[in-house]
């Protein structure tokens, strides 16, 4: 019943597991439908949208240069995200229409209260960057 590695492909590196609730933001006709389907196969359920009304384990956020202010978009993506959840920011690859510079992501993430951890190719047209809330209470680990 679980998805095979062939079904999830590159998405296997995203850390999605069956039973996770994943919210999709920024859907438009230019998204990678194969990637989207692979996420659904990995979690064994459909993606939810911004009208879901409950907490989610992760967010898949499609973002283009002309989508507005990235900090605002990331803050909005945190609205339903469970503590410890992750955001996978998907941006067009270098040279593609509406490409988002990596420096824009690395500047916007901390302003939104997030840290970048991983970037990887997510299909032929998109780059994926994993964003998480940084570890904040390190003094308690002494």
Structural domain including 61 reads 5-133
Q: What is the pLDDT of residue 136?
A: 52
Q: What is the pLDDT of residue 60?
A: 98
Q: Is the pLDDT of residue 65 over 50?
A: yes
pLDDT band at residue 1 using 50, 70 and 90 as cut-offs: very low
In this structure, is residue 140 part of a structural domain? no
Give the tokens for residue 114.
């997030």
What are the pLDDT digits (tens) for 30-41? 999 999 999 999
Q: Are 22 and 58 in contact (CB under 8 A)?
A: yes
Distances (CA, A) of 25 to 44, 54, 64, 71: 19, 15, 12, 14
Q: What is the pLDDT of residue 40?
A: 97
The total of structural domains in the chain comes to 1
In this structure, is residue 56 part of a structural domain? yes
In this structure, is residue 85 part of a structural domain? yes
Q: Is the pLDDT of residue 88 over 80?
A: yes
In this structure, is residue 139 part of a structural domain? no
Burial of 100 (0-12, 13-18, 19+ CB in 10 A): buried
Q: What is the pLDDT of residue 135?
A: 62
CATH number assigned to the domain comprising residue 9: 3.40.50.150
Q: Is the pLDDT of residue 140 over 60?
A: no
Average pLDDT for residues 127-139, to the nearest whole number? 75
In this structure, is residue 12 part of a structural domain? yes
In this structure, is residue 70 part of a structural domain? yes
In this structure, is residue 110 part of a structural domain? yes
In this structure, is residue 142 part of a structural domain? no
Q: What is the pLDDT of residue 102?
A: 92
Q: Are 50 and 73 in contact (CB under 8 A)?
A: no
């Amino acid at each position: 019943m679980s998805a095979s590695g062939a079904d999830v492909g590159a998405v296997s590196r995203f850390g999605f597991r069956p039973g996770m609730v994943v919210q999709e933001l920024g859907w438009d006709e230019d998204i990678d439908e194969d990637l989207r389907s692979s996420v659904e196969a990995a979690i064994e359920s459909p993606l939810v949208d911004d009208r879901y009304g409950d907490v989610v384990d992760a967010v898949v956020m499609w973002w283009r240069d002309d989508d507005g202010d990235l900090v605002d978009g990331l803050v909005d993506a945190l609205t339903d995200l469970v503590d410890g959840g992750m955001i996978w920011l998907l941006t067009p690859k270098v040279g593609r229409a509406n490409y988002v510079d990596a420096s824009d992501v690395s500047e916007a993430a901390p302003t939104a209260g997030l840290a970048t951890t991983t970037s990887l190719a997510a299909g032929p047209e998109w780059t994926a960057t994993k964003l998480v809330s940084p570890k904040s209470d390190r003094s308690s680990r002494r």
